[in-house]
Chain A
Amino acid sequence: MGKRRELPEINAGSMADIAFLLLIFFLVTTTMDVDSGISRKLPPMPEENIETPEIHKRNIFVVLINKNNKVLCGIGSPKNMVEIDGNGTISSSLKEDVKEFVSNNGRNENSSENPEKAVVSLQNQEGTSYNMYIQVQNELTKAYNELRDVKANIDYGKDFDKLEVEEQKIVKKFYPMKVSEAETKAN
């Protein structure tokens, strides 16, 4: 064998094209959906033979969504109608009522004794639409978030979101979110 032939260099010019192709594939298939939602905790199944403790009427704020998606609310029993406009937006009076009820602190005899005892009972019927249910849940969450924001601003001079985890826990303890989701009433 005589002189070794020099190996020709591999042309890397098309490397970019190949990489682009792969890049575009991943760009198209990527779904960047962030899961978000409203978190709740369900009550544990009631154990048999154990009486559930009675809660005084003044400490329960009942919100009822009936099968026609009408919302009724009130302390002790759902007696007031909540207005809903054509777009399905719930009037802010529901939120204000909840805030007033939770932060009553015994001032009004017919409203809650303190935020810790205040329970919001959310009831729905078989035919209630899920959308309406979520809208009401949203309003309830908003009421509590606003109360916590007020408390955080008084105590720490910051919004609730900007507090440290420990501070958030203290504020949460002051305004514990007690939303009871009762079983669907028949009909």
Chain B
Amino acid sequence: MSKFKKGGGKSMPAISTASLPDIVFMLLFFFMVTTVMRETTLKVDVKSPEATEVKKMEKKSLVSYIYIGSPTKTQQSTFGTKARIQLNDVTFSRKEVGEIQNFINAERLAKDESEIPYMTTSIKADENVTMGIVTDVKQELRKVNALKINYSTRKSKEKN
């Protein structure tokens, strides 16, 4: 009754796996090239609000990020739960909002002079923060003439 174990039949030739490494390497290079490693570790919790009319940001190299949110769990012992502003790797309280001017100036120094007018500041604020702190940040940005801003949002589905 052994229908499948027929001796002496033509045996299937084994599929060559020699090209498998090549395929895998191709995928590997794709991911290596597209990967962007996070430069900063977030010290504040940011859950962006949702919106429908969002636009993709262009020229990522010209964007400086400002994070606003309450400190993460590990930071809460030092800073409490009040909303803080993160610039690069350091967080600041609302009273130290003036640091933004230094931050923007440092960002500008790192860029070519001709690119400065195209620089954008992306405000990544948590949906639960109040406008008070956001307005303070906006005021500081106006003072250093960094007028192009972007409110970071997640794209939500159309709701009516």
Residues of A within 8 A of B (CB): 12, 15-16, 19-20, 22-23, 26-27, 29-32, 34-45, 65, 89, 92, 124-131, 133-135, 137-138, 141-142, 145, 181, 183-184
Contacts and interface: CB of A to CB of B under 8 A. Distances in A.
A45 B143 contact: yes
Contacts of A142: 52-53
Interface in B125-160: 125-132, 134-135, 138-139, 141-143, 145, 147-155, 159-160
Give the secondary structure class of B's interface: mixed
B94 to A, nearest CB: 11
18 contacts: A15-B21, A16-B17, A19-B24, A26-B35, A29-B35, A30-B34, A35-B57, A36-B153, A37-B151, A38-B151, A38-B153, A40-B150, A43-B147, A124-B131, A126-B130, A130-B49, A130-B128, A130-B131
Interface of B: 17, 20-21, 24-25, 27-28, 31-32, 34-38, 48-49, 51-57, 60, 63, 120, 122, 125-132, 134-135, 138-139, 141-143, 145, 147-155, 159-160
A130 B54 CA distance: 16
Contact of A129 (B37, B52, B127, B145): B127
A20 B27 CA distance: 9
Contacts of B126: 130
Contacts of A129: 127-131
A137 B135 CA distance: 14
Secondary structure call for the A interface: mixed
Nearest to B83: A130
- Across the A-B interface, give the 4 residue pairs with the lowest CB-CB distance, nearest first: A131-B127, A26-B31, A141-B53, A128-B131
Nearest to A137: B151
Contacts of B143: 45
A15 B22 CA distance: 9
A127 B130 contact: yes
Contact of B152 (A27, A35, A181): A35
Given A26-B28, A130-B126, A31 B148 contact: no
A144 B127 CA distance: 24
Contacts of B127: 129-131, 134
Contacts of B24: 16, 19-20, 23
